[in-house]
C-alpha cells in the first residue's frame, strides 16, 4: 500500500488530505493472503472512499465508495461497494526493456492510476472506458503479460502467460 503522504502516490480524490486517510481491510479468499489493506477517506455514516489502487482486489477500485465496519477497535473491514467509480482494473508485468517510471507517467497522462510492487509488477485502475482501452493498447505492446478485470472483479481479458512471466 502506497503511503498517502508520498508525493508520487497516484491519483487520489482531490479533496483528500493525507491526515484524512484510514486503513481499510478488504477480505480475500486466498489461503495465504487473507486480506489486502488500502487507504480510504471517511465520508461519514460508515462510508469511505478508496484512496489508492488495490493490488490484489479487482472488485474495488480507486474512488469507489464503500461501506465498512469496525471489526475490532481501530480495524475497518469492507462490507460492500455502494458506488463504483473505476470502470476497469489491470494487473501486469512490464517487459524488462520498458522504463517503468516512463510507462507509469504515460499511463497517468491518459487518466490511469497505478500502484507498483516488486519493480515491474503493477496494478492500475481506470475511471473511464477510453482510458482503459488506451491502457490495454499500451500493455499489449509493453507488458510481458496483463489481466483486465471488470468493475465487479471478473476477468475480462488476459494477454501473455501470467504463470510463466
pTM of the model: 0.85
Determine the distance from the C-alpha atom of residue 145 to the mean position of all C-alpha atoms in its chain, rounded to a whole number: 17
Where does the pLDDT of residue 14 fall: very low under 50, low under 70, confident under 90, or very high at 90 and above?
Answer: very low
- Dump strand ranges (E) for the chain: 22-27, 35-44, 47-50, 65-72, 75-83, 88-94, 112-117, 121-126, 143-149, 155-159
What structural domains and CATH numbers belong to the chain?
Answer: 18-83 (no CATH), 88-159 (3.30.70)
Residue 77 has pLDDT above 70, yes or no: yes
Per-residue pLDDT at 112 = 98
Per-residue pLDDT at 39 = 95
Where does the pLDDT of residue 4 fall: very low under 50, low under 70, confident under 90, or very high at 90 and above?
Answer: very low
Per-residue pLDDT at 11 = 43
**What is the SS3 assignment for 37?**
strand
Residue-wise pLDDT tens digits, 94-129 = 999 999 999 999 999 999 999 998 889 999 999 999
Per-residue pLDDT at 30 = 84
Name the average pLDDT for the chain: 89
CA atoms within 13 A on the CB side of 129: 1
Per-residue pLDDT at 161 = 78
Residue 2 has pLDDT above 70, yes or no: no
Residue-wise pLDDT tens digits, 18-51 = 558 999 999 998 889 999 999 999 999 999 999 9
Amino acid at each position: 500500500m502506497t503511503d498517502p503522504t508520498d508525493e508520487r502516490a497516484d491519483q487520489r480524490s482531490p479533496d483528500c488530505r493525507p491526515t484524512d486517510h484510514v486503513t481499510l481491510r478488504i477480505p480475500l479468499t486466498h489461503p495465504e493472503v487473507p486480506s489486502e489493506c488500502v487507504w480510504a477517506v471517511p465520508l461519514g455514516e460508515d462510508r469511505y472512499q478508496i484512496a489508492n489502487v488495490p493490488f490484489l482486489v479487482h472488485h474495488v477500485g480507486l474512488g469507489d465508495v464503500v461501506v465498512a465496519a469496525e471489526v475490532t477497535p481501530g480495524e475497518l473491514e469492507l462490507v460492500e461497494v455502494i458506488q463504483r467509480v473505476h470502470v476497469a482494473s489491470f494487473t501486469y508485468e512490464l517487459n524488462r526493456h520498458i522504463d517503468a517510471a516512463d510507462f507509469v507517467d504515460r499511463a497517468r497522462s491518459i487518466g490511469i492510476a497505478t500502484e507498483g510492487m516488486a519493480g515491474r509488477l503493477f496494478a492500475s485502475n481506470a475511471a473511464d472506458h477510453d482510458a482503459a482501452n488506451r491502457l490495454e493498447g499500451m500493455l499489449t505492446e509493453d507488458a510481458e503479460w496483463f489481466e483486465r478485470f471488470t468493475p465487479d472483479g471478473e476477468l475480462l481479458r488476459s494477454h501473455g502467460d501470467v504463470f510463466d512471466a
